[in-house]
Structure 1
Amino acid sequence: MSVTARTWPPGFTHYLGYLLLGVASLMLCCGWGWLIGRLPPSRWGALTGAFVWVLANLAVDTDLVVVNGPARDRPDLLLIALRIAAAALLLGACLWLPLGRGMLRRAPLPAVAAALASTVLASGLSAVAPRQGPESMTCVEGATTICLWPEEENYRAMAERVLDRADGLPAELSMPDKVYSRGLIRVDGEWGGDFDLDSGSEWAMSDGVTRAVSAETFAACREDDLAGWDKYNEAGDQSVLALERWLEKRLAGGGQPEYRESGMSEAQADAIEKGKAMADRPAAEQERWARDTVRFVQETYCD
């Protein structure tokens, strides 16, 4: 860590922030357990402290159990330092507490109350917040351009593989100018994007590229207040879904998806399986089927 800190590369602030956030949580947990553990008899102290800590984190939405996060979120080092200081104050107050239930009569209650109040305040402040727009981005060019956060540089090779598989797709499939990791662009007043790499999944990136290609290919269906899509949905057609699952599997390099489908109707499930099966057919057959599917949808619903 000390060697890496000399160059301060993209992502180091995130690593340091989450590391210190974990330190703060451990200190707060120890202080809370120490405080609670002195009230009941010794055999129940640890159990009570642990139970109340877990219950509090389940009941209240806090980041006390956060240990990592995506590039689109930024740990606030100043707030984390404040939390560590509050945790240290709580631990320091615990050093002066007498043992047992007599603590309630003999403890300097104002000092303990101040330590607890500062701890609760520091814990309630969210130390991880969405980044307000990118300072820069890493873009990989190919059949389209895939743009990543600078902290996602290690996924450049993944983007290159996906783009290599996108070369030679049927001309009927329209490629978008750029595809973005989530949080890089502003969409409808919010920071959005086409895919997220929270789990580092090649299928997630392939899904984002697939959806962008589908949106570009069938853009005509979105004209006239989505009249084309309304017509498509009313017909119960699942051709686009089959096409998307085919393209997703092809861009991901084949194999089994890294997720499970749920909530699908029988028609949707059949279309998904059809698309996946087509990705295992000879390339010429795949491309012929893709061209025919695109033309059918465009001529039937989008014209």
Structure 2
Amino acid sequence: MIRVLLMELRRSPLRWWLPALLLIDLAALFGRSRSWIGVWPETSVAAQVPSFYFGPALAAAAAWAAGREGRGGAMPATPTSTRPRFLPELLLLTATLVYGTAVYACGALVAAAVSWSEAGPGFLWPGYLVIGLTVMTGCAAAGQLVGKTIRSTFLAPSVAGLGSLAVLAWVGSPHAFGLFVLSGSPQAQAAPAAVALRVGLALAAAGLALTLPDWWQARRSVLFRARSGLAAVGFGALLVALVAAAPQAGRVQVSRSAPAQPLCTTTTPKLCIWPEERKYLPKLAALSDRIALLPAGLFVVPDAFYEQGLRGPAHQYTDFPISEGSVWTVAESISIQILSATAPPRCKNLTEANTERMVKASWELGRWLNVTITGGPQPDDVHGGPPGLDTASIDQLAAGAPQAEQISWVNERLSVLREMPCA
């Protein structure tokens, strides 16, 4: 068995593509963003993302290898063998997955090594890595089935690779079927039920790839055909049942329970985060120090601010997120909370003109607070903002105008929020 597997490994086209696959893995890890470095759940998701690219590559390679024995008019070499027919198919699929898993594991180890010094206690979260393995297994199994059906040297790999890519892009995202994950916020984790279902899907697809060709190509007794056909039908039925059960399994990610003791700055006000994001503590302490320097008497500042998920769903849309490691998004949320505490809504029935004035004043104050709290203008990698806002003049005011001028400007807008007449 081992000797045959080694032979299949030598014959696989993937042996020539290992350097390219490793480059794809590293490009997927470091090319989009590096904010995952130092946060174990984000690192785990980043290590899983290359499976989106490896899946179609393994599908194409499996299709090429599966059609090899039938090209050139050659008959299958094993239909009269005393060994089970699925055994050669199993070795073929295993050889494909050995190469894919080896590169996938190398990428995961690189991600772990890069994060190690910053991340603190913990390691890669296995649930996310298992999701990537299920993507690769399912794609390789589908490619092997295509290769047994289409014996063309170029058509089979093309259909398998492009078809797998289309399926992953169409239904694979977390907002659709959820075959892979893109975000690794500490407030979420891979749902055990959803991971188990995807493992079942991958195994059912592999079982179908091993037994369906046996049914098609069996040249033995009627009993043998019935037995192999029953196995293929069973795996096919299992696959359909698991797909149907996917909505009941729920989302691929679910909320985690908040820790009893979140990690907080020692400053006033304190900023509290998930322990997995300890690397952001110095940046958040600097934000807190600048909040404490806001002109006295202008704003009501809460004693503490919390990252999303630490205080439950009730505060999901008021507590701050840490998006792509940006403190600007943290400052935006804190600014909203400070304005809400300083000038809470007083009237619900405002005229359209007064509503426009109130919204404009709120946006301008929010921008001024953002720049003041972060100590600089909006970063280039953060896009978007309120429409029609003169951000350049507000940034210039917050960055260099005398404090008396800034206080006067802030008071003008606070008066709009506090004294807005009711309709």
Q: Provide the TM-score with structure 1 as the length reference.
A: 0.78
Q: Is the 8 A contact 1:249 1:255 kept in 2?
A: yes
- State the match for 1:130 in structure 2: 254
Q: SS in structure 1 opposite 2:185? A: coil
Name the aligned partner's letter for residue 142 of structure 2. Answer: W
Q: Does residue 177 of structure 2 align to residue 62 of structure 1?
A: yes
Q: Does residue 376 of structure 2 align to residue 254 of structure 1?
A: yes
Q: Does residue 234 of structure 2 align to residue 111 of structure 1?
A: no
The Cα shift of 1:169 comes to: 0.1
Q: How many residues align?
A: 291
**Residues 298/167 of structure 1: CA separation in 2 closer, same or farther (3 Å cut):** same
- State the match for 2:132 in structure 1: 22
**Residues 67/245 of structure 1: CA separation in 2 closer, same or farther (3 Å cut):** closer
Q: Which runs of 5+ in 2 are unaligned?
A: 1-108
Residues 237-273 of structure 1, C-alpha deviation per residue, up to 9 Å, x if partnerless? Answer: 6222112111112222214433222672xxx322x33
- State the match for 1:34 in structure 2: 144
**Residues 280/78 of structure 1: CA separation in 2 closer, same or farther (3 Å cut):** same
Which of residues 262, 265, 271 in structure 2 aligns to 1:140? Answer: 265
**Residues 216/236 of structure 1: CA separation in 2 closer, same or farther (3 Å cut):** closer
Q: Is the 8 A contact 2:141 2:205 kept in 1?
A: yes
Q: Distance in 1 between matches of 2:194 and 2:331?
A: 36
**Residues 291/93 of structure 1: CA separation in 2 closer, same or farther (3 Å cut):** closer
- State the match for 1:160 in structure 2: 285
Q: SS in structure 2 opposite 1:301? A: coil
Which of residues 182, 189, 197 in structure 2 aligns to 1:74? Answer: 189
Which of residues 346, 350, 368 in structure 2 aligns to 1:223? Answer: 346
Name the aligned partner's letter for residue 242 of structure 1. Answer: E
Kindly report the root-mean-square deviation, in angstroms, between the aligned alpha carbons of the 2 structures.
3.7
**Residues 299/199 of structure 1: CA separation in 2 closer, same or farther (3 Å cut):** closer
Residues 10-47 of structure 1, C-alpha deviation per residue, up to 9 Å, x if partnerless? Answer: 7647x322122111211112112222332223322222
**Residues 173/131 of structure 1: CA separation in 2 closer, same or farther (3 Å cut):** same
Name the aligned partner's letter for residue 247 of structure 1. Answer: L
- State the match for 1:51 in structure 2: 162
The Cα shift of 1:56 comes to: 2.8
**Residues 244/235 of structure 1: CA separation in 2 closer, same or farther (3 Å cut):** closer
The Cα shift of 1:209 comes to: 1.0
Q: Is the 8 A contact 2:357 2:416 kept in 1?
A: no
Rg (Cα) greater in structure: 2
The Cα shift of 1:207 comes to: 1.0
Q: Distance in 1 between matches of 2:183 and 2:359?
A: 41
Which of residues 395, 403, 406 in structure 2 aligns to 1:284? Answer: 403
Q: Distance in 1 between matches of 2:264 and 2:382?
A: 26
Name the aligned partner's letter for residue 302 of structure 2. Answer: P
Q: Distance in 2 between matches of 1:86 and 1:298?
A: 56
